[in-house]
Chains A and B, each alone.
Chain A
Amino acid sequence: MRAPAAGDQAAREILLSMENVSLSFGGVNAISDVSFDIRKGEICAIIGPNGAGKTSMLNVINGFYTPRQGRITFKGVARAKMRPYEAAERGIARTFQNVALFRGMSALDNIMAGRTLKMKRGLLWQMLRYGPAMAEEVEHRRVAEEIIDFLHIKDIRKVQVGRLPYGLQKRVELGRALAMEPELLLLDEPMAGMNLEEKEDMSRFVLDVNQHFGTTIALIEHDMGVVMDLSDRVVVLDHGVKIADGTPDEVKSDRNVIDAYLGVAH
């Protein structure tokens, strides 16, 4: 259990702020009027029963969906509409509920692809693969190798990811997101479908990322044990509405949360 001092948390600067965000598909509300903040350096979990709008929330944060209304401020800059690549350029990285790796590429290439934004050499140098282009390639390979070391996936770096077992794929996907050196990392069920051992490994990676690189993390997870262990703060959604927001302990004892999970009608 991580229990940082409350004062410490309040002092932290707000990285992302969601104000009164609503999203709907063809008249059906996926998210209604949700507000919460994510502070720099924290691990924030978004939880809720199935269909609560958690993944939709991540999709709103990184610009894949445009909210019907509401205000999103990231790093002090408010935005209305944003293309996903702009989110990436501004430092939001993301993993997916169902692994969305580039299946035809090797693990190494997947991670190198995560460096795309950092690489600058143009088509002409790329055509020659010589001089500056090669230097750049090698420099980023070094970074990629650091990530590979960090995630202990050295021996599979040249294997096509489509052939890897699910747990490793999740790890490569995390590596790919890390390669972007994000300020905010969104993890959509990073431990889904894993066995206990794999979950422990993954939890450790998430914590290490948070501590070593200082990356702010927002994650969706179903395993309450994991959520309570990892996160500094928990946001609970149900049917697209925020029903609780606080430290793990606060949330655990919240009446609304218990009702929502037990399916009691309000």
Chain B
Amino acid sequence: MDLLYKIFLEPFVQMGTAPDLLVQTLWEGMVGGMLYALIALGFVLIFKASGVFNFAQGIMVVFAALTLIGLHAQGIPAFVALALTIAVMFALAWSVERIVLRPLVNQPDIILFMATFGITYFLIGFGELVFGGDPKTMITEELFLPKGSWDIKMLGGFVSLQKIDVAAAIIASIMVAVLSVFFSKTRIGRALRAVADSHKAALSVGISLEQIWVIVWFAAGLVALVTGIMWGARSNVSFALEIIALKALPVLILGGFTSIPGAIVGGLIIGVGEKLGEFYWGPLVGGGTDSWFAFVIALIFLMFRPQGLFGEKIIERV
């Protein structure tokens, strides 16, 4: 009875008695979820256009942020460093296409997936070799990102909103909007969609697959850079982030692998879900549930709706 009470009643009593904490939990969940969504967005961009499941998206986030900080540490002004980092991400996209993807074209998806493990490990080693393995502080002030927080008095308590989180939300929304416009309105964007539907079709209308791969990997690199700056500003930039990036995978399962809105909604669901679960139910099992919560949700989801919330049902053919 006691256990039943703790599972089914106590959490809701808590929510009622301290609504400010509930609001805070939801907010934290949304902020965390947004970052998962941003990483997932990088996955989706690449998957949509090239069918490659890019495991290296997480390390690309770390790598982009480290490059930015590393360049700035060499005395380069922040915005010049930012431009240089963008150039580095382009170089990365180009080399990945040249060295990894081109020779592997037409291989089964799973082979390409495993190749991105190779990219991940290579970038971990390379990044640590060049920038060192210690966590770095993000150059927030130099990039004119806000600091501090607004403590809003409400519901008999207060809700604390970090300014950087609000900024991240705004920047993320702008980025998603830009990407959507890019995909639906521009020539390259439409070409990308054509590739997503069929490689052969894309080739037949005269679009070079190579160019498109470079473009999507570059776009994913930019998303990674933004994610890295935002996440780095929240805590710091280190290789440990690479593990958090794995949380984007359940987000993808929820949202579907090809849907940008799916990535956003999925990210928010996972973020809010794991925070609520950990905060109100976590203590029952000793806490720390957020390390697997998202994955188990994804697992259950996979059993019943493998194509995700927004994906299309797949008909198998022989």
In-complex A–B contact (CB below 8 Å)? yes
A59 touches B315 (CB 8 A): no
Interface residues of B in 269-318 (CB under 8 A from A): 315, 318
**A205 interface residue per 8 A CB criterion:** no
Alpha-carbon distance A259/B318, docked complex (angstroms) = 29
Interfacial chain A residues near B315, Cβ < 8 Å: 25
B interface, over-half SS? loop
**A102 interface residue per 8 A CB criterion:** no
**A5 interface residue per 8 A CB criterion:** no
* Size of the chain A interface, CB-CB below 8 angstroms: 7
A interface, over-half SS? loop
Interfacial chain B residues near A100, Cβ < 8 Å: 318
Interfacial chain B residues near A59, Cβ < 8 Å: 318
Q: How far, in Å, is A68 (CB) from chain B's closest CB?
A: 14
**A20 interface residue per 8 A CB criterion:** no
**A97 interface residue per 8 A CB criterion:** yes
Interchain Cβ contacts within 8 Å, total number: 7
Interfacial chain A residues near B318, Cβ < 8 Å: 55, 59, 64, 96-97, 100
Residue of B whose beta carbon sits closest to that of A97: B318
Alpha-carbon distance A97/B315, docked complex (angstroms) = 17
User: Mask for A14-50, Cβ within 8 A of B = 1, else 0?
Assistant: 0000000000010000000000000000000000000
Alpha-carbon distance A25/B318, docked complex (angstroms) = 15
Q: How far, in Å, is B220 (CB) from chain A's closest CB?
A: 32
Interfacial chain B residues near A96, Cβ < 8 Å: 318
Interfacial chain B residues near A97, Cβ < 8 Å: 318
Alpha-carbon distance A59/B318, docked complex (angstroms) = 8
Alpha-carbon distance A7/B315, docked complex (angstroms) = 43
Residue of A whose beta carbon sits closest to that of B315: A25
Interfacial chain B residues near A64, Cβ < 8 Å: 318
Residue of B whose beta carbon sits closest to that of A62: B318
Q: How far, in Å, is B312 (CB) from chain A's closest CB?
A: 10
Alpha-carbon distance A141/B318, docked complex (angstroms) = 29
User: Mask for A124-160, Cβ within 8 A of B = 1, else 0?
Assistant: 0000000000000000000000000000000000000
Interface residues of A in 71-126 (CB under 8 A from B): 96-97, 100
Q: How far, in Å, is B27 (CB) from chain A's closest CB?
A: 41
Residue of B whose beta carbon sits closest to that of A55: B318
Residue of B whose beta carbon sits closest to that of A94: B318
Alpha-carbon distance A100/B318, docked complex (angstroms) = 8
Q: How far, in Å, is B89 (CB) from chain A's closest CB?
A: 38
Residue of B whose beta carbon sits closest to that of A25: B315
Alpha-carbon distance A100/B315, docked complex (angstroms) = 18
Alpha-carbon distance A96/B318, docked complex (angstroms) = 7
Alpha-carbon distance A252/B187, docked complex (angstroms) = 52
Alpha-carbon distance A84/B315, docked complex (angstroms) = 16
Residue of B whose beta carbon sits closest to that of A96: B318
Q: How far, in Å, is A102 (CB) from chain B's closest CB?
A: 15
Q: How far, in Å, is A54 (CB) from chain B's closest CB?
A: 12
Alpha-carbon distance A25/B315, docked complex (angstroms) = 9
Alpha-carbon distance A96/B317, docked complex (angstroms) = 11
Alpha-carbon distance A59/B315, docked complex (angstroms) = 13
Q: How far, in Å, is A94 (CB) from chain B's closest CB?
A: 9
Interfacial chain B residues near A55, Cβ < 8 Å: 318
Interface residues of B in 47-83 (CB under 8 A from A): none
Residue pairs across A and B with Cβ atoms less than 8 A apart, 7 shown, are A25-B315, A55-B318, A59-B318, A64-B318, A96-B318, A97-B318, A100-B318
